[in-house]
Structure 1
Amino acid sequence: MQAKAILRHTPTSPRKMRLVAGLVRGKQVDLAKAILLNSTKSASRNVMMTLKSAVSNYALINPDERVSDQELFIKAVYVDQGATLKRTLPAPMGRAFRIRKRSNHLTIIVDKVKNPVTK
């Protein structure tokens, strides 16, 4: 049975978050954690936090089943656009430029691997 974790209203643009989400999409959880720990992107901290929450949610949904990170994989990761804060920046000749501070919603779904690979 799959588990889901959602991080809402993250003050990062969806475009930047999608770069990091694409790195871990479809990977096993232990490999995804290693990728995120070595990533230099600031959005990787938010993805790591949400991934840990999804794994924890999986453990809560299936209390009788002990699953390691090697047996779980990321079934789906998607980033949706959140609210946009509109700010103004003074410009020459009495004008104002608009600044759009974007946010996003991150969703991670984890599930158990059907045929785990043993090493």
Structure 2
Amino acid sequence: MEAVAKLRNYPTSPRRMRLLADEIRGVEVEKALALLEHHPQHSATPLYKLLKSAINNWEQKNEGKSAADAALVVKTIFVDGARTLKRMLPAPQGRAYRLRKRSNHVTIIVDTKTVKA
């Protein structure tokens, strides 16, 4: 039984967040947590918290089971673009440059590892 956790409107560009998401896709949960905990990129912290939330959601759905015994895997993770704040930046000769402050939505789906027979 899978569990979902979502992070909405996080103020980092989707491209930067996808770099981390690609690293933990398909990886066991314990290994992904260790990777995110020690990753230098600043967007690793909200992904770490989001993964912990997905694990807790899975434990609540499956009463009595712990995530450590179940061999959970990050089944799906995807990053979508969210709202973009448009600002103006002063430029030479009275002009202005457009500054786009991007944000993103992240969705994580955690499930038990399926064994192929």
TM-score bracket relative to the smaller structure: over 0.9
Match of 2:10 in 1: 10
Find the aligned partners of 2:71 and 2:79 in 1 and give their Cα distance: 24
TM-score by length of 2: 0.93
Q: Which runs of 5+ in 2 are unaligned?
A: none
Give the C-alpha shift of residue 70 in structure 1: 6.3
Q: How does 1:1-119 map to 2 (within 5 A)?
A: 1-68=1-68, 71-115=71-115
Moved over 6 A (4+): none
Give the C-alpha shift of residue 64 in structure 1: 3.2
How many residue pairs align between the two structures?
A: 115
Residue type of the partner of 1:5? A
Q: Which runs of 5+ in 1 are unaligned?
A: none
Find the aligned partners of 1:20 and 1:96 in 2 and give their Cα distance: 33
Residue type of the partner of 2:58? Y
Farther off after superposition, 2-11 or 67-76? 67-76
The 8 Å contact of residues 9 and 105 in structure 2, kept in 1 or not, is answered as yes
The 8 Å contact of residues 70 and 112 in structure 2, kept in 1 or not, is answered as no
The 8 Å contact of residues 3 and 55 in structure 2, kept in 1 or not, is answered as yes
Find the aligned partners of 2:69 and 2:100 in 1 and give their Cα distance: 38
The 8 Å contact of residues 18 and 78 in structure 1, kept in 2 or not, is answered as yes
TM-score by length of 1: 0.92
- Output the aligned Cα RMSD: 1.2
SS in structure 2 opposite 1:47? helix
**Identical-pair percentage:** 47
